[in-house]
Amino acid sequence: MGGSAAAGKSVDGGGRAAPRVPVPEARPFLDTFRANLKETFFPDDPFRAVVRERGFARRAAAALRYFFPFLEWAPAYRLGTFKSDLIAGITIASLAIPQGISYAKLANLPPILGLYSSFVPPLVYAMMGSSKDLAVGTVAVASLLIASMLGAEVSATENPALYLHLAFTATFFAGVIQASLGILRLGFIVDFLSHAAIVGFMGGAATVVCLQQLKGMLGLEHFTTSTDLVSVMRSVFSQTHQWRWESVVLGCGFLFFLLVTRFFSKRQPRFFWVSAAAPLTSVILGSLLVYFTHAENHGVQIIGNLKKGLNPISVTNLQFTPPYMMLALKTGLITGVIALAEGIAVGRSFAMFKNYHIDGNKEMIAIGTMNILGSFTSCYLTTGPFSRSAVNYNAGCKTAMSNVIMSLAVMVTLLFLTPLFHYTPLVVLSAIIMSAMLGLIDFPAAVHLWHVDKVDFCVCAGAYLGVVFGSVEMGLVVAVAISVLRVLLFVARPRTTVLGNVPDTNIYRRMDQYTTARTVPGVLVLRVDSPIYFANSGYLRERFTRWIDEDDERTSAKGETGVQYVVLDMGAVGSIDTSGTSMLDELKKTLDRRGIQIVLANPGSEIMKKLESSKVLELIGHEWIFPTVGEAVAECDFVLHSHKPGMVADGASHENMV
């Protein structure tokens, strides 16, 4: 264990001992600021392809390819690729049409808006999106959020025109927020919705959506506008005399059919089209059944007339005046972030399967732009739903052209086929929604969280219970609050551990993990596993003092040498602020009064700069800064054995001795 006092030092031209850990040369503030800014907002260096080009025309073309990725794959598009995209596009269109109608009803919007929203946004995404597999359309969770948030202040039945205009306005604000996050490179904000929070939130939202469909499954005409479990159950069981057995039988039959086809497709992946075609098949069978049995005269509610024709312009319907603008803004903010998180998560998942990369910020711009243009053309909020994207992936899509094919299929439906949906029973739409939502309740993921990380499980459970027993907004707030609280606790209460020497090596590891690791008499080695900030500097000072006191109590009880040196392993300390340097200054003075020398091991370049600027480095002394923990402990052990017990050698006299 012993080492030379000169170990780890070099000699400069004048014969003086150079510092073991040199201080990097100071950089101009603007250079450092620009580097940090670039690393924060442009870590992926998105414009490197543009900068590499020579000449204005080539750079302009490269910039266009960046903002419109279809310019990259369109010139090399081949007939074989088109065949794959054609099959995928028609397949997802068969799912998009019934889902679009169903989710529009869930949002308390005219069913035709579900078809409108599957026409314009996919065309925009095909030009601007970077994912090959994302299939654009409406989603149940966003639809439910729109219904619950807008419906709390404006009734969709009493004032349908205002409600519709607010839905367009909320979609516009959602698009602006989404695109702004991408343009300003603020995509990391979405990361505050952790995986655990999304699992709980999506599971709770799926449960709430399923509960809301009891209105259609039971054939009820009046139902609560609240989404919490207690209100829904009260509404259901207070109207038992109005339950319609026809709707119950029809709904349960189609729900069973949809679940069986999904189970079959999961067991036999090559028959994915069975599950994909099941919703449209249910709509066709349900419509034929109602038409031939006249079930609409026996309490089975139907869609009714759907307007023929393409999307009418709605830009003049946006509400930018009080008192409802703030309602639309709040709805757009929440639904936009949720839709963005879902779309990017789905896109990244399928990109990983096919081993290609998607740009998160570029995706935000694409999704935001399609929602802005969608709000101008009678569409409400869209993103990349998992179910539709999974069908697109399994159908063998090659490029975003499958979205174009789906859009064209929806266009044909809008122009010629909408009258065929007149007799579609609402109970079939409820069954379609329930079957889709049951797939979002991920019990295995929750069990996995419980086994791996109990705190993550609490985040998941908090989000789920907040949605189910409170509201969708409350569940979201609970999930984000617990996640942020966890981050703050990690920052404010960083982990500190005692390191010990692994026998017969110069390696130091955590003693609570490596049972063979042993302490060095008179030397306490502590490791800090986080940056040192104003939020945790006070805690770290108290924690260091407590480690020292505990070690003194342990050694005095055994009659061993007390702490003479405290070695701080700074390898995991990425940065330090002025509060952190002040803490080290105070700690140094406190330990000096107790006759204990503080020693730093493996400090990074940023740490060394800050310590030198704040004069803390001079206070501690260059001779007590080491590149590794092993060298630091070896020096301390050498000094302890070279002097009388209890004496802490002065760095300068130690140098002279050597």
| Residue closest to 655 by CA, chosen among 7, 14, 2 | 7
Amino acid at residue number 466: G
As a whole number of angstroms, the distance between CA 72 and CA 133 comes to 16
Amino acid at residue number 576: I
Amino acid at residue number 612: E
The pLDDT of residue 173: 96
601 - beta bridge partners?
569, 626
Q: Which residue do the tokens 């579900």 mark?
A: 114
The pLDDT of residue 658: 31
pLDDT > 80? residue 153 = yes
pLDDT > 60? residue 652 = no
Q: DSSP letter at 532?
A: B
Q: ∠ CA(601), CA(606), CA(610), 5° rounding?
A: 90
As a whole number of angstroms, the distance between CA 124 and CA 119 comes to 9
Name the strand (E) or helix (H) holding 476: helix 472-492
518 - beta bridge partners?
501
Cis amide bond preceding 323, omega within 30 = yes
Sign of CA dihedral 337, 341, 343, 347: positive
Retrieve residue 15's tokens.
């014969």
The pLDDT of residue 222: 76
As a whole number of angstroms, the distance between CA 457 and CA 449 comes to 5
Distances (CA, A) of 416 to 114, 298, 310, 410, 559: 16, 29, 10, 10, 94
pLDDT > 50? residue 647 = no
Residues 88-117 have a mean pLDDT of 90
pLDDT > 90? residue 217 = no
600 - beta bridge partners?
568, 625
Report yes or no: 658 and 5 within 8 Å, Cβ to Cβ: yes
| Span of 3-7, 364-368, 637-641 with lowest mean pLDDT | 3-7
Residues 548-556 have a mean pLDDT of 87
Q: Which residue do the tokens 């209460």 mark?
A: 493
Distances (CA, A) of 129 to 139, 299, 365, 556: 18, 45, 8, 67
As a whole number of angstroms, the distance between CA 49 and CA 56 comes to 13
The pLDDT of residue 121: 95
As a whole number of angstroms, the distance between CA 436 and CA 102 comes to 11
As a whole number of angstroms, the distance between CA 447 and CA 457 comes to 8
On the 0-12 / 13-18 / 19+ scale of CB atoms within 10 A, 155 is middle
Name the strand (E) or helix (H) holding 323: none
Mean pLDDT (the chain, rounded): 84
| Residue closest to 143 by CA, chosen among 197, 91, 102, 90 | 102
Q: What is the 3-state secondary structure (H, E, C) of 221-271?
A: CCCCCCCCHHHHHHHHHCCHHHCCHHHHHHHHHHHHHHHHHHHHHHHCHHH
pLDDT band at 14 (very low <50, low <70, confident <90, very high): very low
Listing DSSP states for 31-83 in one string gives HHHHHHHHHHH-TT-TTHHHHHS-SHHHHHHHHHHHH-THHHHSTT--HHHHH
| Span of 29-33, 182-186, 427-431 with lowest mean pLDDT | 29-33
pLDDT band at 650 (very low <50, low <70, confident <90, very high): very low
Sign of CA dihedral 599, 605, 606, 608: positive
Amino acid at residue number 519: T
| Residue closest to 636 by CA, chosen among 92, 197, 174, 1 | 1
pLDDT band at 574 (very low <50, low <70, confident <90, very high): confident
The pLDDT of residue 475: 80
Amino acid at residue number 245: W
pLDDT > 80? residue 440 = no
As a whole number of angstroms, the distance between CA 234 and CA 282 comes to 30
Residues 344-372 have a mean pLDDT of 85
pTM for the whole structure: 0.75
All domains of the chain in start order, with CATH: 79-487 (no CATH), 495-656 (3.30.750.24)
Neighbours of 218 (CB within 10 A): 20
| Span of 303-317, 360-374, 551-565 with lowest mean pLDDT | 551-565
Q: Which residues of 37-46 are buried (b: 16+ CB within 10 A; e: fewer)?
A: eeeeeeeeee
Q: Which residues contact 642 (CB under 8 A, 6 or more apart)?
A: 649, 657
pLDDT digits (tens, 9 = 90+) for 263-309: 888 888 888 788 888 888 898 999 999 888 888 787 788 888 888 88
pLDDT band at 192 (very low <50, low <70, confident <90, very high): low
Sign of CA dihedral 490, 493, 494, 499: negative
Retrieve residue 127's tokens.
């030009």
pLDDT > 70? residue 324 = yes
Highest mean pLDDT out of 92-101, 409-418, 429-438: 409-418
Phi and psi (nearest 5°) for 293?
A: -105, -5
Residues 69-85 have a mean pLDDT of 87
Q: What is the 3-state secondary structure (H, E, C) of 387-437?
A: HHHHHHHHCCCCCCHHHHHHHHHHHHHHHHHHHHHCCCEHHHHHHHHHHHH
pLDDT > 70? residue 98 = yes
HSE toward the beta carbon, residue 81, CA cutoff 13 A: 12
As a whole number of angstroms, the distance between CA 172 and CA 532 comes to 42
pLDDT > 80? residue 45 = no
Sign of CA dihedral 351, 436, 471, 137: positive
